[in-house]
Amino acid sequence: MSATELPLIGDYSTPSTELNGARIGVVTFPGTLDDRDAARAIRLTGAEAVSLWHADHDLQNVDAVVIPGGFSYGDYLRAGAIARFAPMMGNIIDAANSDAKLPVLGICNGFQILTESHLLPGSMVKNDHLKFLCRDQVLRVENNTTAWTNQYAKGEEITIVLKNQDGQYVADEKTLDALEAEGRVAFSYVGWNPNGSRRNIAGITNAAGNVVGLMPHPEHAVEAGFGPDHTGTDGLGFFTSVLTHLVGGQK
């Protein structure tokens, strides 16, 4: 291959546009695994990935935040229960609930942290089969109006990676009814419910649409040849969605 040829995986970097000025924070806790993957996904869209340490208070003027997957604090007590009290999380909670409505995406352990923080309702418990599971998972996009889903079509089916042990989403019936009635189910599992989540829920959003959490990992499906076989890039839309949201002046 000559120096001028593109690599087999393709080039997903973004040309210089107004999107390039966005700064997206990625939080790292003790036990976080996927912060580097999330940062790479952000860079592939042309935005700047900004490292945010759990013990710091400064959000560094970021435009959005990703709370990535892993096993923060070893999942002691309950997945996400300790991370929720990190100094950085206090600032994220305040910013997400402020008038500015900071966009926040929680992936896997990040979703667990969002529920523990009460930025999203419900909770995550052990998979119903009590085993760790890693597989390509088909999801249906149920809400494409959020800060993190606007580049998908409603009803579109995407395939991204699922890997979890405490991935079963649970909530009381009143909460589940409200999530469905208000269109706050962002993603649902297609074909098979891999962890026993109530009503096949894979991800949800808050009422304002700036906070989204899901168990599967979009950051592992952003490059052809490295994600699920059919395209490998279905997860890229999460990160282009938030840039489109920010450029639209909705932050």
Q: Which is the catalytic residue, given 116, 142, 219, 223?
A: 219
Consecutive H or E run containing 36: helix 35-44
Q: What's the maximum distance between 2 C-alpha atoms anywhere in the chain?
A: 60
Angle at 223 between CA 219 and CA 226, to 5 degrees: 90
Q: Which is the catalytic residue, given 54, 108, 220, 223?
A: 108
Q: Which is the catalytic residue, given 54, 116, 217, 245?
A: 217
Beta bridge partners of 189: 139
The reply to whether 57 belongs to the active site is no
- Retrieve residue 46's tokens: 């042309």
- How many angstroms separate the CA atoms of 200 and 193, rounded? 6
The reply to whether 108 belongs to the active site is yes
- Tell me the backbone φ, ψ of residue 87, rounded to 5 degrees: -55, -40
DSSP 8-state secondary structure symbol assigned to residue 22: -
The reply to whether 219 belongs to the active site is yes
Cα 20 to Cα 11, 45, 126, 172: the distances in Å are: 16, 8, 39, 42
The answer to whether 205 touches 105, Cβ cutoff 8 Å, is no
Bridge-based pairing of strands 64-67 and 104-107 is parallel
Q: At what angle do helices 35-44 and 236-247 cross, to 10 degrees?
A: 60
Residues designated catalytic: 108, 217, 219
